[in-house]
Structure 1
Amino acid sequence: MTLNIAIIGAGIAGITAARTLAQAGHHVHVFEKSRGAGGRMSTRLSNFGTFDHGTQYFTVRDPRFSLALQTVPGTSDICRPWSANAVRVLDPLGHVFEAARATKDAHFVAKPGMNALVRHWAEPLGKAITYNTQVNRLERGAKGLWTLHTVNSTSGKEVAQKHAGFDHVLLAVPSVQAENLLKASGKEAANAQWLKAMDAVNVAPCWTMMVAFPNATQPNLHIGPQWNAARSIHHRIAWLARESSKPGRGKVERWTVQASAAWSAEHITDTEARVKAKLLRAFAELTGIRAEPAHAELHRWLYAKTITPLGVSHQYNPANGLGTCGDWHLGHRVEDAFVSGLELALAVCQSAKRL
């Protein structure tokens, strides 16, 4: 049986699910609230170059993820190894007190930015993706078909819309957003068992800072430390990466700085000016770079890194056609999101064969 399926979210989980279902012959339509595909595999443009202000890199442990990276046309040209596995561990004063533990996992990035991988995989879906569209409520009709109540902001103003006729609706969004959407959609959607399980999921926020020093252009002029990435036990900063060290990123000295989960949660409602001042001070302490950056920008991720996952790859109810997927089901890695989206799509395909 061929199904008409709505997928909410165009991160790697949603796009993986959509591609898998489309290849199986089902009709899919993806709704994404942002301007493009990627989710937390995001890239921010600036006058000085790009910043990967979300996911910093990915590993390849699952054989199905490895197969996809090798066989999807054009993907091997996008993905490149990065020496993030040579990171240092810093004390609060910026001293290297521990080399990163040896790991057999290679670290990869997409070029020219982390969002390139998801956007490349989304290309074959074409007009089956609607961007700038926030889904606020689901409604199931008498015939068992779902209607999505949405708000579209493409024109610069919010326009309420309805998209009807879906056999299934799959939620590929952060756990809190999925939980809120299910609750807002009435008893047909608010599965008590799901909601109880999702309530135990813990996803931490993250303040991310992006700074550029255009007077330092690699490889001729290099400022600050000799390492390209570091984890830190500084109470404010958990991770630093030199963007210009990544393949295909340009030569201007740029850094992405990610605050710790605890500090981000404590300061989640602070003004950007206050957060920027505190992170710049900590950045100088850790790197020794005390020059004023020509560019300093912030991004606040409310749902950045899974601390406590759901513990299963997906949720799916064939009786009403609802499902959830995303990295938060399994962990915080890119391939966790891929596996979640893939396994939900395969479960839907198996159910459709029995209809």
Structure 2
Amino acid sequence: MTLNIAIIGAGIAGITAARTLAQAGHRVHVFEKSRGAGGRMSTREGVFGTFDHGTQYFTVRDPRFSLALQTVPGTTEICRPWSANAVRVLDPLGHVFEAARNTKDAHFVAKPGMNALVRHWAKPLGTAVAYQTQVSRLERSAKGLWTVHAVNSTSGKDVTEKHAGFDRVLLAMPSVQAEQLLRNSGKATASAAWLKAMAKVEVAPCWTLMLAFPNAIQPDLHIGPQWNAARSTHHRVAWLARESSKPGRGKLERWTVQASAAWSTEHLEDAAPRVQAKLLRAFSELTGIRAEPSHAEVHRWRYAKTITPLGVSHQYNPANGLGTCGDWHLGHRVEDAFVSGLELALTVCKSAHRL
């Protein structure tokens, strides 16, 4: 039986689910509120180059994820290992106090930015992906078909839309947003058990600082420390990475600094200039780089890293055709999102075969 399926969210979970279902012969329609695919595998582009201001790298532990990376045409050209000089661990003063951890897990990045992997996988879906389209409500008819209510902003102004006739609706979005959408859609949409379980998922926010030092660009020369990535115990900063050390990123000296979950939570509603100043000060303390950056900006992720996952790879209700997927079901890794989207799609396929 061929199904007409709506997928909300074009991160790696949503695109993985969409590709799997399309390859199984189902019709898919993906709704994404942003201008492109990627989710937290995002890349900020500007005159000074790119910044991976969301996901910094990914690991490959699951054999299904490894198989996809090796067999999807063109993917091996996009994904490259990143040595990162073996990730250091820093104390609040910038001193390396612990050797690299988890070195058995290779670090990989997509080039020219992290979003390249998801966008490459989304490309065969073509016009089946609607960007700048934010879903506001779901509605199920007496005949069991779903209508997606959305706001499309591609024209520069908000246009209300209704997309009807879906057999299944899969939510590939952060847990808080998925829970809110279900609540907005009425009590009959999701079970109380689902909502109760999702409410227990904890996802921490993250402030990200992006810095560029174009005056430092010289062959084989960079400023500051000799390492390219580090985890930190500084109360403000959890992670630092030299963006220009990643494959395919160019030589211009650029850094990405991600704040700790606790500090980001405490300062979640602070004004961006204040956050930028505090993180820049911490960056200087940790790296010893006192030069004034030519470019500095911050980005706030309200839902960045899963602290307490749901504990199952996905949710699916065959009675009404509603499902959820995303990294928050299993953890915070890129491959958690991949596995979640894949397993939800396979569950939908198996359910369709029984009809």
What TM-score results when the alignment is normalised by the length of structure 1? 0.99
SS at match of 1:41: coil
My pick for the range that moved more, 337-346 or 211-220, is 211-220
* 1:152 aligned onto 2:144: no
Cα distance in 2, alignment partners of residues 74 and 47 from structure 1: 27
* 1:90 aligned onto 2:90: yes
1:106 corresponds in structure 2 to 106
Cα distance in 2, alignment partners of residues 102 and 81 from structure 1: 15
Which consecutive residues of structure 2, in runs of 5 or more, have no partner in the other structure? none
Give the superposition deviation at 1:312.
Answer: 0.1
Cα distance in 2, alignment partners of residues 203 and 168 from structure 1: 26
Give the superposition deviation at 1:102.
Answer: 4.7
The structure-2 alpha-carbon separation of the partners of 1:97 and 1:8, relative to structure 1 and needing over 3 Å to count, comes to: same
1:328 corresponds in structure 2 to 328
Q: Deviations over 1:235-264 (max 9, x none)?
A: 000000000000000000000000000000
Cα distance in 1, alignment partners of residues 98 and 90 from structure 2: 7
Runs of 4+ in 1 over 3 A off after TM superposition: none
2:115 corresponds in structure 1 to 115
Q: Deviations over 1:57-106 (max 9, x none)?
A: 00000000000000000000000000137011001011111111253111
Cα distance in 1, alignment partners of residues 102 and 177 from structure 2: 36
Matching of residues 16-165 of structure 1 within 5 Å: 16-84=16-84, 86-165=86-165
1:292 corresponds in structure 2 to 292
Contact 1:85/1:103, CA 8 A, preserved across alignment: no
1:215 corresponds in structure 2 to 215
Contact 2:80/2:109, CA 8 A, preserved across alignment: yes
Cα distance in 2, alignment partners of residues 85 and 223 from structure 1: 15
| Code of the aligned partner of 1:150 | A
Cα distance in 1, alignment partners of residues 102 and 42 from structure 2: 27
Cα distance in 2, alignment partners of residues 158 and 38 from structure 1: 22
The structure-2 alpha-carbon separation of the partners of 1:147 and 1:103, relative to structure 1 and needing over 3 Å to count, comes to: same
| Code of the aligned partner of 1:50 | T
My pick for the range that moved more, 219-228 or 205-214, is 219-228
SS at match of 1:86: coil
| Code of the aligned partner of 1:312 | V
| Code of the aligned partner of 1:117 | L
Cα distance in 1, alignment partners of residues 85 and 204 from structure 2: 23
* 1:228 aligned onto 2:228: yes
* 1:6 aligned onto 2:6: yes
Cα distance in 1, alignment partners of residues 218 and 83 from structure 2: 16
1:240 corresponds in structure 2 to 240
Cα distance in 2, alignment partners of residues 68 and 87 from structure 1: 26
Cα distance in 1, alignment partners of residues 83 and 306 from structure 2: 24
Cα distance in 1, alignment partners of residues 222 and 4 from structure 2: 54
Q: Deviations over 1:3-46 (max 9, x none)?
A: 00000000000000000000000000000000000000000001
Paired residues in the alignment total 355
Cα distance in 2, alignment partners of residues 200 and 85 from structure 1: 37
1:272 corresponds in structure 2 to 272
Contact 2:84/2:227, CA 8 A, preserved across alignment: no
Over the residues paired in the alignment, what is the CA RMSD in angstroms? 0.8
Which consecutive residues of structure 1, in runs of 5 or more, have no partner in the other structure? none
Q: Deviations over 1:170-223 (max 9, x none)?
A: 000000000000011112213101001001100000000000000011534310
The structure-2 alpha-carbon separation of the partners of 1:296 and 1:165, relative to structure 1 and needing over 3 Å to count, comes to: same
SS at match of 2:44: coil
Cα distance in 2, alignment partners of residues 51 and 235 from structure 1: 23
Cα distance in 2, alignment partners of residues 188 and 349 from structure 1: 24
2:257 corresponds in structure 1 to 257
Contact 1:33/1:132, CA 8 A, preserved across alignment: yes
Contact 2:20/2:345, CA 8 A, preserved across alignment: yes
What TM-score results when the alignment is normalised by the length of structure 2? 0.99
1:307 corresponds in structure 2 to 307
1:171 corresponds in structure 2 to 171
Cα distance in 1, alignment partners of residues 190 and 204 from structure 2: 24
Cα distance in 2, alignment partners of residues 126 and 342 from structure 1: 20
Cα distance in 2, alignment partners of residues 84 and 31 from structure 1: 35
Cα distance in 1, alignment partners of residues 4 and 187 from structure 2: 22
Cα distance in 2, alignment partners of residues 62 and 264 from structure 1: 30
Cα distance in 1, alignment partners of residues 104 and 232 from structure 2: 21
Contact 1:85/1:106, CA 8 A, preserved across alignment: no
